[in-house]
Amino acid sequence: MSKLYTGAEIVFKCMEDQKVEFIFGYPGGAVLPIYDELKNHDDIKHILARHEQGAGHAAEGYARSCGKPGVVLVTSGPGATNVVTALTDAYMDSIPLVCISGQVPTHLIGTDAFQECDTTGITRPCTKHNWLVKDVKDLAKTIHKAFEVATTGRPGPVLVDIPKDIQFQKAKYTNFKKQKKLNGKSNNRFSQKDIDKLIDMMSKAKQPIFYTGGGVINSGPKASEKLRELVSITSFPITSTLQGLGSFPGDDNQFLGMLGMHGTYEANNAMHDCDLMINIGARFDDRITGKIDEFSPKSKKVHIDIDPSSINKNVKVDLPIVGDVSDVISLLIKTIKKNKPNFLKSNKQNTSKWWEQIAKWRSVNSLNFINSDKTIKPQFAIQRLYELTKNKDTFITTEVGQHQMWAAQHYKFDKPNRWMTSGGLGTMGYGLPAAVGVQIAHPDKLVVDIAGEASVLMTMQEMSTAVQYNLPIKIFILNNEYMGMVRQWQELLHEKNYSESYTAALPDFVKLAEAYGCAGIRAKTPDELDQKIQEMIDVKKPVIFDCLVDKEENCFPMIPSGKPHNQMLLGPNDQKQNKITGKGKTLV
Amino acid sequence: MAKSKSAYSDPGKKGKLDTHIIVVWVDNEAGVLARVAGLFSGRGYNIESLAVAEVDPKRGISRITIVTTGTPQVIEQIKLQLGKLIPVHKVADFMRGDKKIIFKEMALLKLVGNTAKRNKALKVCKKFNPVVLDKTQKSVVLQITALRRDIDTVMGDLKKFGLVSVSRTGAVAMTRGAEIFK
């Protein structure tokens, strides 16, 4: 007879078979048997967060930066409800997470027991799938299935709820054999014909554009390599969503910058005026499209996505290609090389006028801002951070708000998996715990959380985690004492009624850093900025960097609500600004 | 134009709504109906009626029949979103007017009144295979099977003949001829 294992042992057997190295979690009554088992598994390291939301975001940061699923372990009741924000965040941004939650013993389920909640009910809409394990014999199968669901197709979070009595009960464990190529063919529903059709459209296009998103990153590093090759053999311009940054080098001449609500003038105008839009792994989010009825009215649209339900959800497309980005691009490149060896040459003639137009838009220099020698402009702070860290293979996380958009605009990424930001859900408090997870995955790399002072206070307690595990994360706070993006909207749309967007009684971040046992640095003027940033980089400890920036700077360019791409508000430096702002203000 | 102060765009033009019957084959496991119903409520789709029961006890497969309304784009989304749920095996979709499909709903009707009234009531239902399930001196319980609209009409007509209680199912559907749903 084969050996019997407890439910808690089976959880770790599964983790080992899934090659899990780190678990982010927080103990509690209903998961104690699993925590008790932890000591017998040296190859799995538990990272103790200070709040389950932090554990969830840390697992997200880990997953995003290294491509492996993040594993979260929480207790029942409040443990489970606290992790809901992170699960939803991972669901919106397609991040593979496997969350194991404890549950009250099966005989108490439904009795309103201590720390009981309907975990599978609560997390149903924010996971790809979830399971309540009611029989220990199903446990191993369920956990392995959970990993499969989280990591295949369009990735996402899953949750396995394990009642405490199941963690004690015993069952057999048969070793898990990973099925080959789970993620392969089954998701690909495209044919050579689709590719041929796409190449035909590409060869006729005079004003083409690639619009790429997080799907390229999720498809793995090979997809980014293939994308670079595709862009170079076509000589088409390319723009990226917030989530797609890094899949194509940010300083390449064919890159138009980020598009969308705070995207560049050239990217948004090119999207509006193009005649062929090739969407690769993006989802026509409302921050991207602006007013749907006037979104890129003249273009034929191609949509490459692994998730069939993304096709035609927001924008009707002419050619859907359902498949893994990497596979689609590989076949596309192969076919172009075989059938159209002169593609690049003929295409350069086709698109020369288009590139001239793009150059005109570029000359507007829409990311420009009026610098100051007295106060630190937030954009300037990010530019300096970029210049001083760009040669270091730096990993950047962010919170949510103005600082996030400035980071996306002014920090140039040239590799995938280096940029971790909460795009879909827009979760303030994401960046600090995410940085913890990133640093766990890459202990020797520089990890910077570009933060706002309001966001970072939401999960500030995770500094304690960073200190405990000697994670030298750098929290680079652009401190303007306002919830900057809220303030900006109030200025532009609510007659400067700054309702509740100013934070009085902020902590002294330098002292706060010291209280946590890390280093605190403050920069007040532009002259001292470089030296202070260098100091931050050189400290081999976690750092909270309090960068005091202009309190009333707005994030431009900006597409106001309900406007098409070609009606942007530009920054104060632009001469056309008054005209556009005036018109924009009456229309928004 | 009214000033919009929303960070979101204004709603675009509303398309024409069609009624569709969506048939879903699912694993008969805990929470599966909540998943399907939650998907509809969470994404703002309508459920006009719902019928669900296990149809293959051996494999544990249940068949869910949902009547819904939506623009063609919404109906397409409903199908694709349902297809993504892990316990869902397949999804079929039919227009209400589709001649190749049989749709049926069942209703139980309780009428209280004298014999003359009850006989008249039976006459009203005649087209819809009325079955008398229970009869007393004062009352009768009828079963009819028909389309939703027909049952609506019958209910209206029966009001004056002593209709006191109605219990109805959701629609179930089946293709005509030898074909089965793919």
Distance CA A450, CA A190 (A): 40
**The CATH classification of domain B18-95, taken from the options 3.40.30.10, 3.40.50.970, 3.30.70.260, 3.20.20.10:** 3.30.70.260
Is there a contact between B91 and B79 (Cβ–Cβ < 8 Å)?
yes
Q: How confident is the model at residue B1 (pLDDT cuts 50, 70, 90)?
A: very low
Look at A307 and B84 and tell me if their CB atoms are within 8 Å: yes
In terms of DSSP bridges, do strands A157-163 and A129-132 run parallel, antiparallel, or are they unpaired? parallel
Tell me if domain B18-95 and domain B101-174 are identical in fold: yes
Domain spanning B101-174: which CATH class is it, in words? alpha beta
Tens of pLDDT, residue by residue, chain A (588 residues): 689 999 999 999 999 999 999 999 999 999 999 999 999 999 999 999 999 999 999 999 999 999 999 999 999 999 999 999 999 999 999 999 999 999 999 999 999 999 999 999 999 999 999 999 999 999 999 999 999 999 999 999 999 999 999 999 999 998 887 665 544 446 788 999 999 999 999 999 999 999 999 999 999 999 999 999 999 999 999 999 999 999 999 999 999 999 999 999 999 999 999 999 999 999 999 999 988 888 999 999 999 999 999 999 999 999 999 999 999 999 999 999 999 888 888 888 899 999 999 999 999 999 999 999 999 999 999 999 999 999 999 999 999 999 999 999 999 999 999 999 999 999 999 999 999 999 999 999 999 999 999 999 999 999 999 999 999 999 999 999 999 999 999 998 889 999 999 999 999 999 999 999 999 999 999 999 999 999 999 999 999 999 999 999 999 999 887 788 888 888 876 544 444 444 443 333
A314 and A463 housed in the same domain: no
Residues of A with a known catalytic role: 52, 114-115, 164, 485
**Helices and strands of chain A, counted as H and E runs:** 25, 20
What's the pLDDT score for residue A184? 43
Determine, yes or no, domain membership for A452: yes
As to burial, measured by CB atoms within 10 angstroms (0-12 exposed, 13-18 middle, 19+ buried), residue A398 is buried
- ipTM for the whole complex: 0.89
The per-residue b/e assignment along A278-307, b for 16 or more CB within 10 angstroms, e otherwise, is bbbbbbbbebbbbbbebbbeebbbbbbbbb
Angle CA A259–A265–A269, to nearest 5: 80
Q: Which two tokens stand for residue A381?
A: 């702070």
What's the pLDDT score for residue B45? 94
Angle CA A422–A119–A52, to nearest 5: 45
**Strand ranges for A1-96 from DSSP E:** 4-6, 22-25, 45-48, 70-74
In terms of DSSP bridges, do strands A238-240 and A70-74 run parallel, antiparallel, or are they unpaired? unpaired
Look at B9 and A489 and tell me if their CB atoms are within 8 Å: no
Q: Which two tokens stand for residue A127?
A: 């996971």
Is there a contact between A423 and A95 (Cβ–Cβ < 8 Å)?
no
| Contacts with B85 from chain A: Cβ below 8 Å | 129
Option in A124, A289, A312 nearest B73 (CB): A312
Determine, yes or no, domain membership for A322: yes
A 453-492 residues with CB below 8 A of B? 489
What's the pLDDT score for residue B5? 66
Option in A290, A311, A493 nearest B9 (CB): A290
| Contacts with A125 from chain B: Cβ below 8 Å | 38, 42
What's the pLDDT score for residue B4? 60
Q: Which two tokens stand for residue B125?
A: 């239902």
| Contacts with A286 from chain B: Cβ below 8 Å | 8-9
What's the pLDDT score for residue B170? 93
Min Cα distance A435 → chain B (Å) is 29
Selected residue with higher pLDDT from A165 and B6: A165
What's the pLDDT score for residue A314? 92
What's the pLDDT score for residue B97? 85
Q: Is A149 on the interface with B (CB under 8 A)?
A: yes
Is there a contact between A536 and A513 (Cβ–Cβ < 8 Å)?
no
**CATH number reported for the structural domain that contains residue A280 in this entry:** 3.40.50.1220
> Residue B4 gets which letter from DSSP?
P
Option in A124, A313, A561 nearest B34 (CB): A124
At A478, give phi and psi (nearest 5°): -85, 95
Is there a contact between A543 and A519 (Cβ–Cβ < 8 Å)?
yes
Selected residue with higher pLDDT from B21 and A588: B21
Percent of chain B with pLDDT over 90: 79
Domain ranges of chain B: 18-95, 101-174
A161 and A219 housed in the same domain: no
Most confident of A78-92, B83-97, B145-159: A78-92
Q: End of a domain among A145, A172, A199?
A: A172
Is there a contact between A300 and A232 (Cβ–Cβ < 8 Å)?
no
| Contacts with A561 from chain B: Cβ below 8 Å | 4-9
Q: How confident is the model at residue B182 (pLDDT cuts 50, 70, 90)?
A: low
Q: How confident is the model at residue B75 (pLDDT cuts 50, 70, 90)?
A: very high
Query: Structural domain of residue A9, as residue ranges?
Result: 4-172
Gyration radius (Cα) of chain B, Å: 20
> Residue B57 gets which letter from DSSP?
T
**Strand ranges for A233-377 from DSSP E:** 238-240, 255-258, 276-280, 300-305, 319-322
Distance CA A424, CA A88 (A): 9
CB contact set of A531 (below 8 Å; sequence gap of 6+): none
A23 and A73 housed in the same domain: yes
Give tens-digit pLDDT for B108-132.
999 999 999 889 999 999 999 899 9
A160 and A204 housed in the same domain: no
How many independent structural domains does chain A possess? 3
Q: Which residues of B touch A (CB under 8 A)?
A: 1, 3-10, 12-13, 30-31, 34-35, 38, 42, 73, 76-77, 80-81, 83-86
What's the pLDDT score for residue A330? 96
Is there a contact between A146 and A131 (Cβ–Cβ < 8 Å)?
yes
Q: How confident is the model at residue B2 (pLDDT cuts 50, 70, 90)?
A: very low
Selected residue with higher pLDDT from A69 and B96: A69
What's the pLDDT score for residue A573? 64
Option in B8, B35, B76 nearest A124 (CB): B35
What's the pLDDT score for residue B23? 96
Look at B7 and A587 and tell me if their CB atoms are within 8 Å: no
What's the pLDDT score for residue A567? 87
